[in-house]
Homo-oligomer: A and B are copies of this chain.
């Protein structure tokens, strides 16, 4: 899970990229990077941590140029500390290309071997972004015939890339002297949206591509449209926009988890408002609760802030039960220092959430969360509610049971760590200590997210169903991924 943004303007883009990354910060807080292009020279700064801490004035002063891109990264298993895997990545031939990427490639083993043996390209990290960049570079190189590079040659290269690469990818690249290229995998699993604004004072116009539409809204851009699955968009340094469908059989299957908890509620993705989807997930969950569990004794409905709030509000409304906010979220999360001779403290949910006893004392509470993955957080939440005086705790998940690994760009544990994997509903309820437990169904989730539009007809929901749409994801692959993660 990452956030990406790219801008082509007629004025410097560094502050605008910085501001955009702040708005995408919820998509990744482990590292961040910005690159800009000034004439034919690239400038790049990468750093660990959040955007606010990462960039100093001297970094920003170095990031000159009217074309640029940025990245926030959620490090996957075991690589949080690796600065070398921070994005963007750069290759200097052909042309000089800088790329950022949101998603996850699944045929990394095959690509690594090909690039090394056939294309003789050096991969200095284990990052699949470096793979993606080198495939792009290689396809651009092999497509050069005459002297100049035109949009069609670039789109042809993206087309060949689609054939070689499997998995999910929304990517933005700078090609030295040729502008900004953005493209999305043929299933459109990860989001990417295109925007445009007139600069204040009539000083020109500016194009933007970003992971989420709220970046556009907040920056005063008009949302032009989502980049299509398989499509590539090329914006020249002087602001000409070209686009082409580069995939043979594109098919829009966006990731359900963006709607469930990943994206900001004020974003619209593939024509579906995230906030509205969460409201509808709440409505559907309410129906499920009515169907499955007696609600007569429930006094209050409570969300786990912040992502479950819209769903919880609808659950309360549908059930006609009072909505209350009993959990307070601590915004400031710190570190645990390793002191010589001192025991290391355990991080707990209590450092992130606090229960207001006024709201719990003596009440039968219905707690709504967006989803249940490992179950450890849910267990601590139930404990907190009981400590705060709850008479009984019903737990409801706005997402269906998570049963399989997510291989398309969300860092999710192996099957044996998933609490719902191989457990009955009652077993899970017992594990988390709840009196009752209600899950959304897969069908209800589908309906809730897709309702009211016809552009998206199916969702990437493999972690609920085990059906993987992109690339070869079979038992051998999952076993390999899990072995890697657990090592």
- Residues of chain A at the chain B interface (Cβ within 8 Å): 11-12, 14-15, 18-19, 22-23, 25-26, 40-43, 49-53, 55, 57, 60-61, 84, 91-97, 117, 119-125, 134, 137-138, 141, 144, 147, 176, 214, 217-218, 264-266, 273, 275-276, 279, 309-310, 313, 317, 322-325, 328, 330-340, 342, 345, 350-351, 354-356, 358-359
Contact = CB atoms under 8 A, between A and B. Distances in A.
A19 B334 contact: yes
Contacts of A18: 334, 337
A40 B121 CA distance: 11
Given A266-B328, A313-B325, A95 B117 contact: no
A387 to B, nearest CB: 10
Nearest to A59: B337
Given A52-B332, A275-B358, A117 B147 contact: yes
A83 to B, nearest CB: 8
Nearest to A337: B60
A40 B332 contact: no
28 contacts: A12-B342, A15-B342, A18-B334, A18-B337, A19-B334, A22-B332, A22-B334, A26-B331, A41-B124, A50-B332, A55-B335, A91-B91, A92-B92, A92-B121, A92-B122, A92-B123, A93-B119, A93-B121, A94-B120, A95-B120, A96-B122, A117-B147, A265-B328, A265-B356, A266-B354, A275-B359, A276-B358, A313-B324
Contacts of A134: 92-93
A18 B247 CA distance: 51
A273 B120 CA distance: 43
Given A96-B122, A124-B92, A176-B122, A356 B266 contact: yes
A264 B328 contact: yes
